[in-house]
Amino acid sequence: MGLLKEGINEVIATTHCNAAPIGIINRNRIARMVLFHHSHTATNVERYGWIVANFIFDPVLYVRTAFEDLPESDLVPEMVEGRRMYRLPDAEAWIAYNAAVERKTDEALIVRLRPLKEMVADLRLHPVNRGFNSIIDATVHATRYVMTGDPWLRKLIDHHASLVRKCGGTREWEALDLLLGYLDRAETGDCGDTPDTPAAPDKQGRSRTSERFRMGELNFR
C-alpha cells in the first residue's frame, strides 16, 4: 500500500460500471472502507469483490460522481489477476483491490481491502489550493445536507463556497456551480433530467447520496 497515506484517503472508487468518491481508511497498515447498504458501490463490492482506488485531482469529477452516474464510456477496463476491473482513464495513479466484507452493521458494510496491483501513470504537482480543498469539504457536507437539512452543514457549505470563489481556479468554479445546482434541485425537489439525483433513489431503492463520502464522516480511529 505504498501509495496510500495514513488516515482517510478520499479517492474516486470505481467498481463494476460505477464511480463514486469514497474514503479509504488506512490505519495500522490495514485499508478498509465503510459502505452504506444499498449503495451502488456496496452492491458491486458484495457481487464482484473488487474496487479500484483512483487518485485524481479534478474537482468537477468529485462533485459529479458524488451526485450522478458516469457513463460507462468514462471508464476503462483493466485486467487484474484474471478479473476485468474498471478504472478512470485519467487517474494519475491507481490501486486495484480485492474487497471482502469483514463485517456488517445495521447501516453499513465494513470492507477490508487487499491490494492486488498499484500503478503510477503520471504524477503532477498540485499546489495546495484552498479552493480545491473546499470543493471536497463542501461536497461531503452537501451529500449529508440533502438528506438531513442540518443548518450547520448549510453554513459550512456556504463558507466553503466562498473560499472556492476566492481561492479556486476555473475548474473549481465549474465544480461549485455544479454542486450548487444539485443542492438547488434537491431543495426544490426538482430532479430535472438527472435520473439519479440525491432526492431520487433508483428502481432498486439505491441512493446516490447514501454511499457518498460518508466514510469521511465516520470516526475509525
Q: Which residues here bind its own copies, judged by CB under 8 A?
A: 3-11, 23, 55, 57, 92-93, 120, 123-131, 133, 136-137, 140, 156, 159, 165-172, 216, 218-221
Hey, is 45 helix, strand or coil? helix
Q: Which is nearer to its own copies, 46 or 92 (CB)?
A: 92
Q: Which is nearer to its own copies, 2 or 82 (CB)?
A: 2
Asked if residue 19 lies in contact with residue 75, where contact means CB atoms within 8 angstroms, the answer is: yes
CA distances from 83 to 20, 51, 108, 117 (A): 20, 11, 26, 12
3-state secondary structure at position 191: coil
User: Which residue, chain included where needed, has cell 457536507?
Assistant: 141
- By C-beta, is 20 or 43 nearer to its own copies? 20
Task: Please name which of 203, 212, 194, 195 lies closest in space to residue 42, comparing C-alpha atoms.
Answer: 212
CB of 113 to its own copies, least distance (A): 14
50 vs 62 by CB, closer to its own copies = 62
- For the bound state, the minimum distance from the C-beta of residue 108 to its own copies, rounded and expressed in Å, comes to 16
DSSP for residue 73: G
Burial 205-221 (b: 16+ CB within 10 A, else e): ebbbbbbbbbbbeeeee
14, 54, 197 from 74: Cα distances, Å: 11, 13, 19
Residue 82 Cβ, how far from its own copies at the closest point, in Å? 27
> In this complex, which beta carbon is closest to its own copies, that of residue 46 or of residue 90?
90
Which one, 113 or 206, has the nearer CB to its own copies?
113
Separation CA 125–CA 78 (nearest Å): 26
With beta carbons less than 8 A apart as the criterion, state whether 53 and 11 touch: yes
Question: Shortest Cβ distance from residue 168 to its own copies (Å)?
Answer: 5
- The minimum distance between CB 159 and its own copies, in angstroms, equals 7
DSSP structural state of residue 9: E
CB of 136 to its own copies, least distance (A): 6
